[in-house]
Structure 1
């Protein structure tokens, strides 16, 4: 499995990336939505993209919309991983095409549970 971790915080990219690697993912990172689109355009097609909302250049919602508007990226599962906890933000992200929404701070167990719901974990890791 492949994942793209998109967050302007290097520390958060490392945390999320480390958790995903523990679950067997190969990960790449990007510091904003535009960098993430560049990674996709270079041919790295992840199974999962974990997307922060608040980033410079291109925010997470703009990234989700851009990915959803491109049929080449249809199979990428998008999960917002953000501090934004207002209901209207969650609704906007899901309406734009995000599959799941996780609010920071979170635990590795919470990430595992979200990935299990999305069908993105091996069965043995769901137990």
Structure 2
């Protein structure tokens, strides 16, 4: 079963994304900040897919992405940055840090499935 970690300070975003991904047969974990997410991972492997907010409350998202890439399994993980708008500067910094791609808020089930399916081995 594929694993997914959602990192976003918004409880609503975490809850909605978790529900959609659970319905897609993912094992889902949540964190409200970058440091909480890194603590959840600990010394273990990075989840298969990580959805991280474009702005975290405790660290720059680019720093979080770089930290994930350095962890065991981090080079192979899919890291999707969750943005409110297509900001070229933010997107460039996140891509340079190692983000695989982007998802845009607000989202619904159809949009989330469309963004996740190319990276998923589970049926939608």
TM > 0.5 fold call: yes
- Asked if residue 66 in structure 1 is aligned to residue 67 in structure 2, the reply is yes
Q: For the Cα contact (< 8 Å) 1:50–1:79, is it kept in 2? A: yes
1:111 offset after TM fit, Å? 1.4
In structure 2, the residue corresponding to 1:73 is in which secondary structure? Answer: coil
Q: For the Cα contact (< 8 Å) 2:46–2:71, is it kept in 1? A: no
Normalised by the length of structure 2, the TM-score is 0.87
Normalised by the length of structure 1, the TM-score is 0.85
In structure 1, the residue corresponding to 2:4 is in which secondary structure? Answer: strand
**RMSD between aligned alpha carbons?**
1.8
Q: List runs of 5+ in structure 1 lacking aligned partners.
A: none
Please give the alpha-carbon distance, in whole angstroms, between the structure 2 residues aligned to 1:32 and 1:59: 10
CA-to-aligned-CA distance 1:12-56 (integer Å, 9 cap, x gap): 110111111111111111111111111111536411111002221
In structure 2, the residue corresponding to 1:8 is in which secondary structure? Answer: coil
1:94 offset after TM fit, Å? 1.3
Please give the alpha-carbon distance, in whole angstroms, between the structure 1 residues aligned to 2:23 and 2:118: 18
Bigger relative contact order, structure 1 or 2 (CA pairs below 8 A, ≥6 apart):
2
Q: List runs of 5+ in structure 2 lacking aligned partners.
A: none
CA-to-aligned-CA distance 1:46-70 (integer Å, 9 cap, x gap): 1111100222112322210111233
